[in-house]
Amino acid sequence: MEKYENFRRQAPVFVYRSYKITETPDTVEIDYVFDFPGKAVFRPGWSFPKPEGFTAENDRVLERLAFSLGMAEAVSYWKAFCSPVFRVECGELSPDQVGWWKKLYFLGLGEFFYINGISADRDGFVDIQCCGKFGCTGEQALPELSGCLVPIGGGKDSALTLETLTNAGMECRCYAINERKSISETVRAAGLPESILIQAKRRFDRSLVELNKQGCLNGHTPFSSVVAFSAEIAAYMNRLKYIVLSNEDSANESTVAGQDVNHQYSKSFEFERDFHEYEEKYLAAGIYYFSFLRPLAEFQIAKMFVSHQKYLPIFRSCNLGSKVSPDIWCGDCPKCLFICLILSPFLSRRELTEIFGKDLLNDENMQEYFIELIGKSEHKPFECVGSIAEVDLAVSLAIEKIKKSGGELPLLFKIYEEMGLYQPETISQRNEAVCGGFSSSNLLPPEFEAILKKEMERLL
């Protein structure tokens, strides 16, 4: 906490200085300037492929979207010193909007505050002050919109969404931030041409890394909010009506029990609902933002996903492995272990080993992560993982399957049984309850809800 207060004194003001939209024959470029006056200047940016017939000139909606994407980006730089004043010099925010952004920053930085031992005050951790206006004002006629934009990350969830919607005859384009092999292979596996992939390029200012090396504050930020605002730009430029996310009900569970610390806050239904409302009130691009898999738990998604065998060799969900080219499963992190566990009731040990390149269930280095995933630690891993209850169910079903076949339990499952957690008498009831679940906390339009329920009936 003393380090936090010291940094705030060193840099009392953070400034969102400007954003600039320029066009090339093939792209729309958005460049930002953020700074701690007298200390550091950051110049990140984005490049979006420009569809035929689109022009950014005098586009008031694009101005709003570009400014808002900058607000989502800015928090990654602000956190280096956590300045008590956040001054916005290039856009206009109402008091209600200021409250919206403060909520996103505070809850989206919950893990950051927790890991750094910061007891931040929700009202007083930052004062967002606005002293600028948008370059364009007034009303603007909106184009007719149709079709879906499906953000693809290379993992099982977005693959399941894309597969289900295309099989149902929905018109889909895909969206990705920067190039990754698993993303392009997911598109191809879905039977779609690579031309339907809209690939934005994000330019992160690496000078922030140098500040971190010098000891400035560092940690997790609500990156999925960056995905949301950038996807809004891609959808708007390409005249697409829906942004169809693949976040699930399990993302709502806190990472630290009893606290507002959720690694996945910007994937939660609370953020989804807030963003949906913000779009309607303040972005006004006419785009409908929702998550197709929101009614489902990770366990249900895993069970549905494995029926599409063509994705098993190509999907990737490892954050560490995504930094390697081509992206891989690192085999050493809690995310790899979680995916292995949630798939373990539905795939053989051999199939799991082929996917991850090693037998994670027999790896003694995975014990600490395993204890966290089954809820026997102070907190779950700070990763995008499912709920404790569904990990328990997946492990129990996998143990039951091995016992019925007369096989030997792997190390992690032996530990689970030795802890007295394996309760075979409740497995059937828990399995039925989870597989039949459909959360009402969702924003699915009726036609999408019907598609999802039909697919659930077919696969579950």
Q: Is residue 385 part of a domain?
A: yes
Q: For residue 139, is pLDDT > 70? A: no
345 with 224, same domain: the answer is no
What does the pLDDT average to over 419-445? 96
Whether the pLDDT of residue 189 is over 70: the answer is yes
- Tokens 């906490």 belong to residue: 1
Q: What is the mean pLDDT of residues 434-455?
A: 97
The pLDDT score that the predictor gives to residue 328 is 94
Longest CA pairwise span in the chain (Å):
71
460 assigned to some structural domain: no
Question: Residue 404's domain spans which residues?
Answer: 316-437
* Range in 13-27, 247-261, 409-423 with the lowest mean pLDDT: 247-261
Query: Which residue's structure tokens are 């879906």?
Result: 148
Quote the percentage of the chain above a pLDDT of 90: 92
Final residue belonging to a domain, choices 291, 306, 328: 291
The band of 133, judged by pLDDT with boundaries at 50, 70 and 90, is: low
- 127 and 193 co-located in one domain: yes
Bond into 326 cis (ω within 30): yes
Does any domain span residue 442?
no
Q: For residue 217, give the nearest of 14, 16, 17, 450 by alpha carbon.
A: 14
* pLDDT of 323: 83
Domain co-membership, 251 together with 360: no
Distance CA(394)–CA(342), nearest Å, equals 5
Give the tokens for residue 387. Answer: 């709920």
- What predicted TM-score, i.e. pTM, was given to this entire model? 0.95
DSSP per residue over 139-168, as a string?
A: --PPPP--SEEEE--SSHHHHHHHHHHHHT
pLDDT band for position 134 (cuts 50, 70, 90): low
Residues 332, 333, 339, 344, CA torsion sign: positive
CB atoms within 10 A of CB 301: 23
Whether 307 maps to a domain, the answer reads no
CB 154 within 8 A of CB 322: yes
Give bridge partners of residue 138 from the DSSP assignment: none
What's the rounded mean pLDDT across residues 140-155? 91
Q: For the residues 437-447, what does the mean pLDDT come to? A: 97
Exposed e or buried b per residue across 152-162, where buried means at least 16 C-beta atoms within 10 angstroms of its C-beta? bbbbbbbbbbb
Q: What is the pLDDT of residue 113?
A: 95
The three-state secondary structure class of 16 is strand
Question: In terms of domains, do 339 and 429 share one?
Answer: yes
Q: What is the pLDDT of residue 310?
A: 98
Q: Is the pLDDT of residue 279 over 50?
A: yes
Establish if 311 belongs to a structural domain: no
Round the average pLDDT of the chain to a whole number and report it: 95
Q: Angle CA(110)–CA(112)–CA(117) in degrees, nearest 5?
A: 95
**Which pLDDT belongs to residue 135?**
45
Beta-bridged to residue 198, according to DSSP, are 175
For residues 341 and 264, membership in a common domain is answered with no
pLDDT of residue 2: 84
Mean pLDDT of 322-327: 84
Q: DSSP 3-state assignment of 173?
A: strand
**270, 321: one domain:** no
Shared domain for 103 and 37, answered yes or no, is: yes
Q: Say if residue 250 is in the same domain as residue 322.
A: no
Residue 147 has pLDDT above 80, yes or no: yes
Same domain, yes or no, for 137 and 203? yes
387 and 245 in a common domain: no
State the pLDDT at residue 132.
65
Residue 117 within a domain: yes
Residue 203 shares a structural domain with residue 332: no
Q: How far is CA 69 from the centre of its chain?
A: 15
Q: pLDDT per residue over 364-379, tens digit each? A: 999 999 999 999 999 9
How far apart CA 295 and CA 387 sit, in angstroms, is: 14
Regarding whether 200 and 153 lie in a shared domain, the answer is yes
137, pLDDT greater than 60? no
Q: Is the pLDDT of residue 394 over 90?
A: yes
- Chain position carrying tokens 């007719």: 144
Total domain count, the chain? 2
pLDDT at residue 306 above 70?
yes
291 in helix, strand or coil?
Answer: strand
- Name the percent of the chain in helix, strand, coil, to the closest 5: 45, 15, 40
**452 domain residue, yes or no:** no
**Whose CA is closest to 416, among 370, 348, 350, 359?**
370
Asked if the structure places residue 274 within a domain, the reply is: yes
The domain boundary, picked from 256, 291, 326, lies at 291
Q: Are 95 and 53 in contact (CB under 8 A)?
A: no
